[in-house]
Amino acid sequence: MTSSSSSTAGAIPVFYSAIHQDRDAEFRRSAPPKRIIKEGRKETVMGCTNCGRLDGEGVTLKKCTGCTLVCYCSKECQKENWPHHKIHCSSSLGAGIQPLIKSITGNPMLSHYIQICLSLQFHLHTLPLLSPTKRTSLLRAPLFAHINVGIEPTQITDFMNLYTFTESKEWDKDREEMEMEMDGMMQLHTLVSPWPGMPERVPTQTNLEIWKHARKAADEDDAKDRAVVLVQFVNDFKQAITCPIVVGEDAVDSAMRAEPFTMCSALTGKQTKKPLTVATCFEYINTHIRSDKKDRLCLRAPMRGVDKDLIRNAGRDIQLHAPQALRVKMQREHVYISHPISVFSDSNTNTNTNRAHAPAPAHAPAPEREAGPVLAEDRQIEGNPELPQAGHEPPKMNRAERRRLQRELQKEQKRRK
């Protein structure tokens, strides 16, 4: 699979990728039916952005007409919250992340793994070792967590174009001229609590009221011995969705057992085990979402300008929390390490400035393809994992030729779907 940018004249970045033959079958086995997710989405109740009052409990919430993303129970609440909201009140955010977060919390499998992460983060699986008094005091205390999220391209090549060619938007212009929309998907970046390196965030009175309401509801459902965590899903500090999550018994038991994940390389067939951690749970969740080609999980959304800018800022090494969180994700997850970028310059170019590579940790192992045989061609779903032979130089391509190639690739992708 190939693509290019005018920022590297006379060079073609080549992205190699492969997908395991059992991926689709594994996804179908583990993903819940779409109707279950839709039913779970309906259970989500919206609250006033300013005071936290829930919709239907004596009030009817109304959306902000400027962005249609936040809701208020009264004009007074909207006026009081306006100094904070006006910074990000814009129609450029589209539908925002709210529908996607509903799909995550309404998905029993994804919700289970997020609860495992919370159990590990707050050491809830170790509470049985404490005295009953100490255990009760911890469970009755408000817990707060912050999860950085983002919308990334479903095609890894699109992601690498945005990350690598940070100063050029020719790729976007070419897609617009061909009326090609860049498909995106929800991804989890990092979980932090407390929140280091971020603007100081003290739980507001609204946060506490939401937690108290959730704690009371959990007690009424015979979950007095379960922790309630107020989780804030944050998208580049432009939008935040706050959700109270009750950490269930099954999630705590899974954290106690700590069974490792088994990972199988699509290139070599080699299996490796990864310990159960917040990072590996996030990688499993993100991989599961990436495997969903038909939007069964309801976690697909068009890429917005702000989503592309976040990826470009990560490529520029911008030292802000959101780009840093994305870079942490790229360093830990195998999909980025196993999709290197090779840039071949023409014979008249003597500089190495056009050679780019995906960021990988210093301790990253050698490419897995050396550890075993490459899978047969019928097992290669996206692209050819074989590396080019030494001395190979692809022909130069002008803009018209690149467009033609992109159209052919788009048709091929649609045919495979």
pLDDT, one tens digit per residue, over 317-326 is 998 989 999 9
Alpha-carbon distance of 113 to 116, in angstroms, equals 5
pLDDT at 15: 55
Average pLDDT, the chain: 77
What type of residue is 285?
Answer: I
pLDDT at 295: 93
Asked if residue 47 lies in contact with residue 54, where contact means CB atoms within 8 angstroms, the answer is: yes
Q: With a cut of 50, say whether residue 253 has pLDDT above it.
A: yes
CA angle 326, 328, 333 (to 5 degrees): 95
pLDDT at 18: 59
Strand partners, 396: none
Q: Residue 130 corresponds to which tokens in the numbers above?
A: 């404490």
**Whole-structure pTM value:** 0.74
Q: With a cut of 70, say whether residue 166 has pLDDT above it.
A: yes
Query: What is the mean predicted confidence (pLDDT) over 329-333?
Result: 92
- Tell me how far CA of residue 195 lies from CA of 85, 113, 145, 203, in angstroms: 21, 21, 8, 12
For 139-170, letters b (16+ CB in 10 Å) and e give: beebbbbbbbbbbbbbbbbbbbbbbbbbebbe
Query: What is the mean predicted confidence (pLDDT) over 366-376?
Result: 37
Backbone angles phi, psi at 184, to 5 degrees: -125, 170
Asked if residue 170 lies in contact with residue 210, where contact means CB atoms within 8 angstroms, the answer is: no
Q: Percent of the chain having pLDDT more than 70?
A: 68
Q: With a cut of 90, say whether residue 159 has pLDDT above it.
A: yes
Lowest mean pLDDT among 52-66, 104-118, 127-141: 52-66
Going by pLDDT thresholds of 50, 70 and 90, the confidence category of residue 215 is: very high
What is the spatial order of strands in the sheet that 143-153 belongs to?
239-246, 228-235, 143-153, 183-192, 300-302
Alpha-carbon distance of 214 to 228, in angstroms, equals 7
Alpha-carbon distance of 299 to 301, in angstroms, equals 7
Q: Residue 90 corresponds to which tokens in the numbers above?
A: 């814009």
Query: Mean pLDDT: which of 194-208, 340-354, 356-370 is highest?
Result: 194-208
Query: Mean pLDDT: which of 164-178, 293-307, 390-404 is highest?
Result: 293-307
Going by pLDDT thresholds of 50, 70 and 90, the confidence category of residue 346 is: very low
Going by pLDDT thresholds of 50, 70 and 90, the confidence category of residue 227 is: very high
Lowest mean pLDDT among 90-104, 241-255, 258-272: 258-272
pLDDT at 348: 47
Query: Mean pLDDT: which of 114-118, 206-210, 302-306 is highest?
Result: 114-118
pLDDT at 254: 94
Going by pLDDT thresholds of 50, 70 and 90, the confidence category of residue 207 is: confident
Q: Residue 212 corresponds to which tokens in the numbers above?
A: 């108290």
pLDDT at 358: 40
Lowest mean pLDDT among 40-49, 54-63, 228-237, 262-271: 262-271
**What are the residue ranges of helices labelled H in 291-337?**
305-315, 321-332, 334-337
Q: With a cut of 50, say whether residue 375 has pLDDT above it.
A: no
pLDDT at 108: 92
Higher pLDDT residue, 95 or 83? 83
Dihedral sign, Cα of residue 353, residue 355, residue 2, residue 177: negative
Q: With a cut of 60, say whether residue 136 has pLDDT above it.
A: yes
Q: Where are the beta strands (DSSP E) in 85-197?
A: 143-153, 183-192
Contacts of 124 (CB under 8 A, 6+ apart): 118, 227, 247, 252, 255
Going by pLDDT thresholds of 50, 70 and 90, the confidence category of residue 345 is: very low
pLDDT at 373: 37
Query: What is the mean predicted confidence (pLDDT) over 141-170?
Result: 87
pLDDT at 22: 64
Residue 265 half-sphere exposure toward CB, CA atoms < 13 A: 20
pLDDT at 181: 80
Query: What is the mean predicted confidence (pLDDT) over 366-386?
Result: 36
